[in-house]
Amino acid sequence: EHSQALLSGPIFRYWNRSVVAAAYLYLGAVDDALEHVSMAAKEQPRDHFLKGMIEGNHFVATALAGRADAEGLISALLPWLPVAGRRNVEGAYVALEALATGLAVIGDREGLARLYPLTLAGVQTNRVLQTSVIGPSTSQLAAALAADAAGLHDQAREHFEIALRQAHEVPIRILQPT
């Protein structure tokens, strides 16, 4: 309700709409969630520091909803992923976390495994929580999923344990059951 009320304001409507979409998804109102993510994509500015967030959330929400068209949304997300060796905007890391979660949900272990080097770059930013990710996810959880898919079991366990510790210490209540 709070996030929906913010939609009447002129600032960051696309971000607020993404938060509304996440709430709807968690409440099981899948069609409403997907409608809000789609609207957020239309409302976002052409160039902004969260570019990639909406594309990532659209993909992961569609994957979590079990929709067959989820895989077709990946191509719109790929240009916004972080690029190794350069500074990246916040949205690039949101997109990365969403992509990792979505690939895990749809069972694309090969694609997920290829993300591991990028997820390590995400971990190295020392970001702990991004509130804009539908998922839920963190950089450590994304790295854990990618490492597991790559067969890097020791690294996966370490990332999972850090993600679990962060979920309880920060706390990140929505991540605790995950």
Q: Residue 131's pLDDT band (boundaries 50, 70, 90)?
A: low
pLDDT at 76: 93
Buried b (16+ CB within 10 A) or exposed e, 109-142: bebbbebbebbbbbbeeeeebbebbbbbbbbbbb
CA 139 – CA 94 distance, rounded (Å): 9
Residues 6+ apart with CB under 8 A from 107: none
- In this prediction the pTM is 0.92
pLDDT in tens, 71-99: 999 999 999 999 988 899 989 999 999 99
pLDDT digits (tens, 9 = 90+) for 24-45: 998 999 999 999 999 999 999 8
- Which DSSP state fits 83? -
166 φ, ψ to 5°? -60, -40
